[in-house]
Amino acid sequence: MRSVLVTHPSSMDHVSLNEHPERPERVTAAIEGVLESDLEIVSVEARAATREELLAVHDASFLDQLQEFCATGGGAIDADTYAVERSWDAARFAAGAGLTAIEAIQRGDADVGFSVVRPPGHHAEIDRTMGFCLINNIAVSAAALVSGGERVAIVDWDVHHGNGTQEMFFRSPDVLYVSLHHSPFYPGTGRVQDVGRGLGVGATVNIPLPGGVGGVAYRRAFSRIVLPILDQFDPDWLLVSAGYDGHIADPLGGMALVADDYGAMAAALGEAMQRKNTVFYLEGGYDLGAIRESVTATLNGYASGLPLLNPPDGGDQTTDSAVEVFSLFWDLD
């Protein structure tokens, strides 16, 4: 199996003036993880997202203000998020990396893609940067696919809820957004009761998990909720917000996943998508070793063709509560 690895040098130019966990070395670790996988790797440089592509998910005034802020030297945007002069270019190429991966897959150059760029994106809202994120990279890709008549599923396993991605597609019946996240935790969104609105009711699937849980909880949620809903939604494309801050070694996440858990989740997603039309997007993850080994496990798992979840029998209160909510919209056991 071939994977396209999409990167861009500008990712290394988005650098805080102070020590910051979202640092350029994260990209280096993720690239190493891709290259250490068993897949044949096709490396491609990202193209920049066009203004039109960005406007599909962000307000024009927001984009103008962000570009001007960077052009005048940048600085701290909030307690977590910063930009410097070259961050605008980094953000445009980060937003275009997923599009580049999709285009490579559409040409037949690869079966799966990994977008390894920064800054990350899933917290960026329509008119607001936050949580280390400037532009919502995965949302830009999803909107482009939907404009071409495709149905898109987004699975977000970053330890933090992707509030920006949810906001952008909360009313859309063409984008399924599924998030497994630590709760209560930053950014404080992602309640199980938030299921979408209007034509999008049922297409937002939040699975909040208590701090400290590991592979058993995630595997149960995948088996009982994520995979049955994916099967019924029947997407043309799967985009994965692949954050690795749920790893037990991560200094920020407070969860207990290991690399094999990411491999198991990716294997299940590969089986669901018949190992095609899938792109992984680097989101969070702040321990370099955990990023590297988890990225390798993700690609190897996706390509394996093996249903590696094997959750233990029985339920748990978190999963049972979520099943009760989502059974109103989907056929779940």
Which residues have a Cβ under 8 Å from the Cβ of 49 and sit 6 or more positions away?
A: 92, 93, 95, 96, 99, 135, 140
Active site residues: 123
* Helix, strand, coil share (%) of the chain residues, nearest 5: 40, 20, 40
CA–CA distance, 216 with 224 (Å, rounded to integer): 12
Structure tokens at 157: 């396993």
Q: Which of 266, 241, 254, 257 is nearest to 290 (CA)?
A: 257
DSSP character at residue 316: -
Per-residue burial over 246-280, b if 16 or more Cβ lie within 10 Å, else e, is bbbbbebbbbbbbbebbbbbbbbbbbbbebebbbb
CA–CA distance, 305 with 63 (Å, rounded to integer): 41
Collapsed DSSP state (helix, strand, coil) of residue 133: strand
CA–CA distance, 114 with 189 (Å, rounded to integer): 27
Structure tokens at 62: 């927001």
Structure tokens at 303: 């390509």
